[in-house]
Structure 1
């Protein structure tokens, strides 16, 4: 981010499919004192890697998740409108972001297109208005090998870091998952010893009493 001082670095793994990533972005894009690396990643890839279902794949959870996101937006006074259909295939949006440099302007413009304006984002044609704003007028830019490789590298980095969902902030090897963990992330930046208390240290070695068997 242009406004960052560079004294500390965090990686932000996100997917444009996530309304909570859009909500968290509203705080992160103004976050002072840290170099924020925006790293688009395919959420569906993480789900497949972990053999896990997304919230939209469980009917009751899907409705609750959508309501919860809209409620949090309304409560925070953040304009938000769901796109015409959800979930959608975000691959074109992720590649556009990378082709445009994955900077603040690109992330902001694509999030606004999808979640502030409530517009479709599955194809280059859907994204053409925002792509033009970012100086990209050819769908071929999204198919370049370097763009695909960068997206793959983001995914590999997310897996290596232990990321299991989006959005996730990673700083000093610590994971902060979800928009509602933003305050926890802030507290950690202010006090890197946050997880060094006796109560916090105990959690890392807490035994498992029972495990769910295969279904």
Structure 2
């Protein structure tokens, strides 16, 4: 039986395919002091539901994204090495984290395997090594479980229902904060939640579209 997302608690949505999600997790010591529920989701499914074109499908945007991630890593002093190909199939590590109900240490170890060591978690050999590293040598069998696979699908569907459209995304006080560069905003809103109720924030949050046939 799958378990639905408890939207009453602070949430953090992630997919291992995202370099910016790795960079944000490496700044965990700066996060607001809440117990975020780490929630794996399938990024491509979020894109599909929201009608977005993945950045890596546009050649010039793909190059910029990879350069920007490297720049941010160097700027932040975070060890960083891209895996041999991107995008890669992140299904196996997502299912592993789902099966383990992975906490920050567990999830961070997987991210570091991919984005600090530059490994491809989709290959059988590398995934088996990853499972050993996180203390789940039976991982290759665990991820075949229909219940585990259904739970990841449920996570993703519930995230879509909450309006999540990308990763990394914080959900705090019923608000979404997307992207590695949103951390200062998350921190500010955690300290000053009334800012979201200010007149100008409300105004810009409900602006109509100025283009015919376009919904805001």
Normalising by structure 2, we get a TM-score of 0.90
User: Which residues of 2 match residues 141-152 of structure 1 at below 5 A?
Assistant: 141-152=142-153
Structure 2 distance, partners of 1:135, 1:23, is: 23
* Contact 2:110/2:130 (8 A) holds in 1: yes
Per-residue deviation at 1:30?
Answer: 5.8
| Aligned match of 1:194 | 195
Q: Secondary structure at the match of 1:129?
A: helix
Deviations 1:90-133 (A, max 9, x none): 00110111122221222011001000000111134322222112
| Aligned match of 1:56 | 56
Q: Does 1:84 align with 2:73?
A: no
| Aligned match of 1:166 | 167
User: Which residues of 2 match residues 10-21 of structure 1 at below 5 A?
Assistant: 10-21=10-21
Structure 1 distance, partners of 2:56, 2:213, is: 22
Once the two structures are overlaid, the 10-residue window that deviates more, 121-130 or 171-180, is: 121-130
* Contact 2:31/2:187 (8 A) holds in 1: no
Per-residue deviation at 1:9?
Answer: 3.7
Structure 1 distance, partners of 2:169, 2:98, is: 18
Moved segments of 4+, more than 2 Å: 28-33
Q: Secondary structure at the match of 2:193?
A: coil
> How many residues matched?
206
* Contact 1:84/1:120 (8 A) holds in 2: yes
User: Which residues of 2 match residues 1-215 of structure 1 at below 5 A?
Assistant: 9-28=9-28, 31=31, 33-138=33-138, 139-211=140-212
RMSD of the alignment, in Å? 1.7
Q: Secondary structure at the match of 1:82?
A: coil
Q: Unmatched 5+ residue regions in structure 2?
A: 1-7
Structure 2 distance, partners of 1:39, 1:202, is: 31
Once the two structures are overlaid, the 10-residue window that deviates more, 146-155 or 36-45, is: 146-155
Structure 1 distance, partners of 2:213, 2:84, is: 37
Deviations 1:75-101 (A, max 9, x none): 110000000000011001101111222
Structure 2 distance, partners of 1:140, 1:179, is: 33
| Aligned match of 2:4 | none
Structure 2 distance, partners of 1:53, 1:201, is: 28
